[in-house]
């Protein structure tokens, strides 16, 4: 495969598209697929074939607006239909030339206009199981350019100039990490893609793998070339079967086209990728635990240093980056580091994909430039809190993060500002809570999660999260005291400072964050044995409800 051939494939693909008058894209991500969007696609294809128009009906990946699925997009008119059912297939085909069907039409200008799609630029617009579609939208152009025109050092330089930081939550400068691995001495090096998206409430990585898997493969290949690796692994959660299957298809197609394997594109660069399945352990999202898991062992982290960049998988220098981080690589190489750095804030460049869920009108995936105020994301793009309820907090960073109240909603979304208010970016989960959520209960929920996911190797996390959960349960049950609260804070301090890995070190964050902004709820539970939101068993409203349902 060389640049000419790549261009030919792209041209052929685009010519096919140009032949048609209309294109109908049907979302077949996990969410819409669960509502039988595959049948919708088949019926649309049938109706299209008997109509007198030239229409291509295409399976695509996620369009982002998950709560409004099944989603169907008609191009070039850019008409988006929501909650589509198979029986409307004929109507949809008939409507392409005229007015959109009113009851299905989804006119969410405010939702889409403010978004900037870099990682998601192909999601919902290409068939994830057709490598030609990807190539038709500049796919693999970056890899071929890198292999034929750029030296590894130049690639790393471009990534550094972009200011890209790890999108899995660590926020570590990607260029710096690549440079470290490149410089590490070793005959064998590895590239690992961390697809163990464990934060509950986050599904950005799943969506990218299901909707645009070639993008991740291309990013990994460029990375491997830059750091000198010849083998790559994608570690994916076993709970993501569709992502695994789409990735498998993508790898097979990339190999067939000579974009993976030996002597890629006629150069002396060899690189291939294997999939490794996770098995239900959140801690395996931590780099050293992930490596242990690929080595076939219990996923227990190791003290660092030595860092994986120097001594990782089987003791060799290993580059580990998140799915979303790799998804940013190809556009940066194509358009240059400075292009990426123009977006975002001073310390947080580029865009970020967020999974907006919870009590929000437009649940789903959004991609915005770093620096956008939280208020705009939640109330503008997200459509605010539905059903007449009042916004209470937005939880970011998963079990490692914190809850941000209304008073801080005008902060720009960036690594540094989220840390400044006691939370963190994390992998991108953004869970909106309203007045029906009890913040003490939320803290307890996250502690339960950390307690159950703790690997057990170090004492502070293993025994500490259990003790913290006990105290929170006491408080939620109306049996807590101020002494319990003091002990809780004390334990937070020790666990935060002495745990072996990030899981333990950040486990106290939800507690500390809710204590900072919602201390009144803790006091209400302790002093008045009452849960203001009516969630906990000590609350009079919750008790009454339980009696009714008994």
Partner 1 sequence: MTPVATTVDVKTLQINGENVSARADQTILEVARENGIFIPTLCHLDGLTDVGACRICLVEIKGSPKLFPACVAKVEEGMEVITNSERLTRHRRTILELLFAERNHVCAVCVANGNCELQAVAQTQGLTHIRLPYRVQRLEVDTSNERFVADHNRCILCSRCVRVCDEVEGAHVWDIMGRGINSQVLTDLHEPWGSSSCTRCGKCIQVCPTGALFDKNKVGVSHPKNPEFLPYLNMMRDAK
Partner 2 sequence: MSLYPMPPLPSNDKRWKIVNGTMRRHGFARHALIETLHTVQTSFGYLDDESIRFVAKSLRVPLSQAYGVVTFYHYFSLKPPGEHTCTVCTGTACYIKGADRLIAHSEKHLDVKQGETTANGKISLMTARCVGACGRAPVVIMDGELMGDATAEKMVEQFERWAV
Candidate list 220, 457, 506, 535; residue touching partner 1; CB under 8 A: 457
Candidate list 69, 317, 464, 508; residue touching partner 1; CB under 8 A: 464
Q: Is 336 in the site for partner 2 (CB under 8 A)?
A: no
Q: Is 112 in the site for partner 2 (CB under 8 A)?
A: no
Instruction: Choose from partner 2, partner 1, none: what does 499 bind? Cβ within 5-8 Å by kind.
Output: partner 1
Smallest distance, partner 2 to C-beta of residue 324, A: 14
Are the C-beta atoms of 205 and 246 separated by less than 8 Å? no
CA nearest to 24, candidates 62, 87, 71: 71
Are the C-beta atoms of 367 and 341 separated by less than 8 Å? no
Instruction: Choose from partner 2, partner 1, none: what does 449 bind? Cβ within 5-8 Å by kind.
Output: partner 2
Smallest distance, partner 2 to C-beta of residue 197, A: 7
Q: Give the up-direction half-sphere exposure of residue 224: CA atoms within 13 A in the CB hemisphere.
A: 29
Q: Is 301 in the site for partner 2 (CB under 8 A)?
A: no
The structure tokens 């260029």 sit at 175
Smallest distance, partner 2 to C-beta of residue 358, A: 5
CA nearest to 220, candidates 198, 188, 195, 187: 195
Are the C-beta atoms of 382 and 360 separated by less than 8 Å? yes
Q: Is 338 in the site for partner 2 (CB under 8 A)?
A: no
Smallest distance, partner 2 to C-beta of residue 329, A: 23
Instruction: Choose from partner 1, partner 2, none: what does 358 bind? Cβ within 5-8 Å by kind.
Output: partner 2
Q: Is 277 in the site for partner 2 (CB under 8 A)?
A: yes
Subset of 280-299 contacting partner 2 (CB under 8 A): 280-282, 293-299
User: Which of 106-110's residues contact partners 24+ apart within 8 Å by CB, and which partners?
Assistant: 106/65, 106/68, 106/71, 106/80, 106/81, 106/82, 107/80, 108/65, 108/80, 108/362, 108/383, 110/380, 110/381, 110/383
Q: Is 539 in the site for partner 2 (CB under 8 A)?
A: no
Size of the site for partner 2 (CB under 8 A): 54
72-75/79-81 β-pairing: antiparallel
Q: In Å, how far from its chain's centre is CA 245?
A: 18
By C-beta, is 95 or 288 nearer to partner 1? 288
The piece of 21-29, 224-232, 336-344, 450-458 that touches partner 1 (CB under 8 A) is 450-458
Contacts with partner 2, 165-184, as mask; x by CB under 8 A: --------------------
Q: What is the DSSP letter of 100?
A: P
Smallest distance, partner 2 to C-beta of residue 24, A: 21
Work out the number of other CB atoms within 10 angstroms of the CB of residue 121. Answer: 19
SS (H, E, C) 39-98: HHHHHHHHHHHHCCCCEEEEEECCCCCHHHCCCEEEECCCEEECCCCHHHHHHHHHHCCC
By C-beta, is 481 or 540 nearer to partner 1? 481
Collapsing DSSP states into helix, strand and coil, what is residue 309? Answer: coil
Torsional sign, CA 311, 315, 316, 321: negative
Size of the site for partner 1 (CB under 8 A): 30
Q: Give the up-direction half-sphere exposure of residue 275: CA atoms within 13 A in the CB hemisphere.
A: 23
Work out the number of other CB atoms within 10 angstroms of the CB of residue 316. Answer: 18
By C-beta, is 156 or 455 nearer to partner 1? 455
Contacts with partner 1, 395-414, as mask; x by CB under 8 A: --------------------
Collapsing DSSP states into helix, strand and coil, what is residue 186? Answer: coil
SS (H, E, C) 365-415: EEEEECCCEHHHHHHHHCCCCCCCCCEEEEEECHHHCEEEEHHHCCCECCH
Q: Is 455 in the site for partner 2 (CB under 8 A)?
A: yes
**Spatial separation of the C-alpha atoms in residues 393 and 119, rounded to whole Å:** 27
Instruction: Choose from partner 1, partner 2, none: what does 302 bind? Cβ within 5-8 Å by kind.
Output: partner 1
Smallest distance, partner 1 to C-beta of residue 292, A: 12
C-alpha distances in angstroms, 278 versus 105, 193, 194, 463?
A: 39, 12, 10, 25
Subset of 9-48 contacting partner 1 (CB under 8 A): none
Instruction: Choose from partner 2, partner 1, none: what does 500 bind? Cβ within 5-8 Å by kind.
Output: partner 1
Subset of 300-329 contacting partner 1 (CB under 8 A): 302-303, 305
The piece of 271-279, 436-444, 464-472, 507-515 that touches partner 1 (CB under 8 A) is 464-472
Instruction: Choose from partner 2, partner 1, none: what does 437 bind? Cβ within 5-8 Å by kind.
Output: partner 2
Smallest distance, partner 2 to C-beta of residue 53, A: 32
Smallest distance, partner 1 to C-beta of residue 491, A: 7
By C-beta, is 67 or 463 nearer to partner 1? 463
By C-beta, is 62 or 164 nearer to partner 2? 62
Residues contacting 275, CB < 8 A, separation 6+ = 233, 234, 236, 244, 247, 248, 251
Residues that bind partner 2 (CB under 8 A): 30-31, 33-35, 65-67, 69, 197-203, 206, 237-240, 276-282, 293-299, 355, 357-359, 363-365, 395, 398, 429, 431, 433, 437, 445-446, 449, 452-453, 455
Residues that bind partner 1 (CB under 8 A): 281, 298, 302-303, 305, 451-460, 462-467, 470, 487, 490-491, 494, 497-500
């Amino acid at each position: 495969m060389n640049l000419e051939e790549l261009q030919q494939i792209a041209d052929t693909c685009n010519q096919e598209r140009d032949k048609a008058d209309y294109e109908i894209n049907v979302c077949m991500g996990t969410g819409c697929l669960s509502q039988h969007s595959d049948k919708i696609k088949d019926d649309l294809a049938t109706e299209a074939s008997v109509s007198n128009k030239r229409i291509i009906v295409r399976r695509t990946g996620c369009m982002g607006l998950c709560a409004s699925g099944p989603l169907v997009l008609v191009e070039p008119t850019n008409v988006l239909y929501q909650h589509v059912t198979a029986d409307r297939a004929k109507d949809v085909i008939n409507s392409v030339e005229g007015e959109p069907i009113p009851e299905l039409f989804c006119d969410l200008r405010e939702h889409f206009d403010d978004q900037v799609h870099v990682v998601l630029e192909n999601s919902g617009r290409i068939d994830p199981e057709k490598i030609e579609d990807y190539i038709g939208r500049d796919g693999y152009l970056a890899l071929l350019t890198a292999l034929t025109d750029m030296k590894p050092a130049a690639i790393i330089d471009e990534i550094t100039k972009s200011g890209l930081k790890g999108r899995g939550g660590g926020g570590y400068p990607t260029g710096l990490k690549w440079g470290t691995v490149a410089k590490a001495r070793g005959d064998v090096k590895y590239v690992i893609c961390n697809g163990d998206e464990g934060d509950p409430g986050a599904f950005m990585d799943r969506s990218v793998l299901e909707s645009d898997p070639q993008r991740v493969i291309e990013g990994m290949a460029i990375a491997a070339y830059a750091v000198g690796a010849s083998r790559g692994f994608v570690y994916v959660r076993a709970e993501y079967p569709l992502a695994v299957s789409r990735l498998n298809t993508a790898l097979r197609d990339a190999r067939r086209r000579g974009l993976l394997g030996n002597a890629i594109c006629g150069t002396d660069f060899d690189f291939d990728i294997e999939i490794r399945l996770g098995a239900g352990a959140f801690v395996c999202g931590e780099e050293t635990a992930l490596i242990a898991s690929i080595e076939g062992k219990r996923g227990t982290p190791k003290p660092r240093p030595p860092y994986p960049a120097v001594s990782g998988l089987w003791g060799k220098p290993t580059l580990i980056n998140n799915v979303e981080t790799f998804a940013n690589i190809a556009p940066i190489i194509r358009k240059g580091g400075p292009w990426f750095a123009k977006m975002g804030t001073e310390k947080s460049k580029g865009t970020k994909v967020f999974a907006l869920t919870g009590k929000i009108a437009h649940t789903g995936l959004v991609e915005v430039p770093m620096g956008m105020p939280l208020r705009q994301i939640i109330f503008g793009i997200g459509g605010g809190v539905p059903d007449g309820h009042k916004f209470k907090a937005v939880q970011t960073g998963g079990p490692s993060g914190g809850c941000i109240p209304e008073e801080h909603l005008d902060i720009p979304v960036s690594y540094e500002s989220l840390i400044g208010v006691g939370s963190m970016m994390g992998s991108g989960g953004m869970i909106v809570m309203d007045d029906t959520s009890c913040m003490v209960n939320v803290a307890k929920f996250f502690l339960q999660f950390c307690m159950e996911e703790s690997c057990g190797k170090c004492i502070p996390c293993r025994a500490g999260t259990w003790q913290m959960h006990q105290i929170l349960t006491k408080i939620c049950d109306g049996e807590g005291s101020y002494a319990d609260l003091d002990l809780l804070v004390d334990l937070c301090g020790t666990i935060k400072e002495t745990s072996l890995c990030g899981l333990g070190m950040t486990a106290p964050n939800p507690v500390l964050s809710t204590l900072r902004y919602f201390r009144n709820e803790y006091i209400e539970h302790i002093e008045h044995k009452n849960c203001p939101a009516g969630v906990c068993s000590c609350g009079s409203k919750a008790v009454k409800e339980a009696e009714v349902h008994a």
